[in-house]
Chain A
Amino acid sequence: MTLPKGFGSGGGASSSDVNKMIGRRVENMTGIVTLSFIAAWLSTFGGTAVGYYYYPWAYPAQSGHFAFIVLSIIEAIGYIFAVKVNEEGTSKKSNGLIAGVVGVIAVATVLIVTFVNG
């Protein structure tokens, strides 16, 4: 077993060494993953909105909305996948959080494409 300098004592890794090597565990990253998803979704809205507010002759709102909906779905799949992969094999379950966040995003997406038209 090869360990970095400062880990272990004369071969073999104790559980505290393993914990030091791991640092923050992926199953404890649900919060940052959720925030990243929301930030990505807001950025997607921002990016498409720039298109139909500043260049309406080139990017009509309908095109921007189509891109926004498709990318929101892709991002939501990525978010669900990320949280499920991180928490598999542990006792942690964030299905309620995922359902809530994706549900709110879905409703907000529909409202945005209905009422924000550049």
Chain B
Amino acid sequence: MAQMPALIPKEVEIQRLKKIWMIVIAMGSTAASVEVDNFVDGSLHQTSIRDSAFTPAHWWLYSHFVALPLGWGAVSIYDRKVPILRGPNNSMNTGLKMTILGYLATMFTIGVNEMWHFWYVEEIFAVPNHWMFNMGVVVAFMGALAYVVRVYARLVELGAETPGENPYVAEMYKMALEGKLYSRSIP
């Protein structure tokens, strides 16, 4: 990405980017705990395939998942204070769009999942209604990664973060800052 002109004072931009990063770090722990839920759920269903009255409540198991869409929502609101992070035509950042679409797909899948299980009660991991949960989350994580990389690259660009000391890594950062690492870098 090319060096962009600053629309807000550099110091203000660094502080705001770091505040966004704090929210992202907090959500990192939540994402890890959601992954643990996924493993726990999958592990349990390898033993008992069908849900019963003894099955632990899924709303409890996955309840903290709600922190991720809410957290990214908070980021998308605060994100408007950093002009460099705007997406095409002054819209929302593309990574954030992907993240929010991914979580919307996951929420939609909750309904689809309930309809599927009305007819077919076995909790087999590989059934198509479960694919949508994983695809939604993967799209969300891909968007989040793109956004985090953009925030970090901007901090490097502003001189608030130092690129790696490894010369190969440093060269990659240099190419990224010159817009040569990807055919179309993250907007």
A side interface size, CB within 8 A? 36
Q: Please measure, in the bound complex, the distance between the C-alpha atom of A44 and the C-alpha atom of B34, giving whole angstroms.
A: 11
A71 CB contact (under 8 Å) in B7, B36, B56: B36
- Whether B25 lies near A82 (C-beta < 8 A) is yes
In chain B, positions 22-67 with a C-beta closer than 8 Å to chain A are: 22, 25-26, 28-29, 32-33, 36, 40, 43-44, 54-56, 60, 64
In chain B, positions 103-146 with a C-beta closer than 8 Å to chain A are: none
The answer to whether residues A78 and B56 also contact, given A13-B9, A18-B12, A22-B11 and a CB cut-off of 8 A, is: no
In chain A, positions 60-101 with a C-beta closer than 8 Å to chain B are: 63, 67, 70-71, 74-75, 78, 81-82, 85-86, 88-89
Chain A residue with the shortest CB-CB distance to B47: A58
Q: Please measure, in the bound complex, the distance between the C-alpha atom of A47 and the C-alpha atom of B36, giving whole angstroms.
A: 11
Q: Please measure, in the bound complex, the distance between the C-alpha atom of A58 and the C-alpha atom of B11, giving whole angstroms.
A: 51
The majority secondary structure among interface residues of chain A is helix
- Whether A74 lies near B32 (C-beta < 8 A) is yes
B8 at the A interface (CB under 8 A): yes
- Whether B54 lies near A57 (C-beta < 8 A) is yes
Jot down 22 A-B pairs with beta carbons below 8 A, ordered by A.
A1-B8, A2-B8, A18-B11, A21-B9, A21-B12, A26-B18, A36-B26, A40-B29, A47-B33, A50-B60, A54-B56, A58-B55, A59-B40, A67-B33, A70-B32, A71-B32, A75-B29, A78-B28, A82-B21, A82-B25, A86-B22, A89-B160
Chain A interface (Cβ < 8 Å from any Cβ of B) = 1-3, 13, 18, 21-22, 25-26, 29, 33, 36, 40, 43-44, 47, 50-51, 54-55, 57-59, 63, 67, 70-71, 74-75, 78, 81-82, 85-86, 88-89
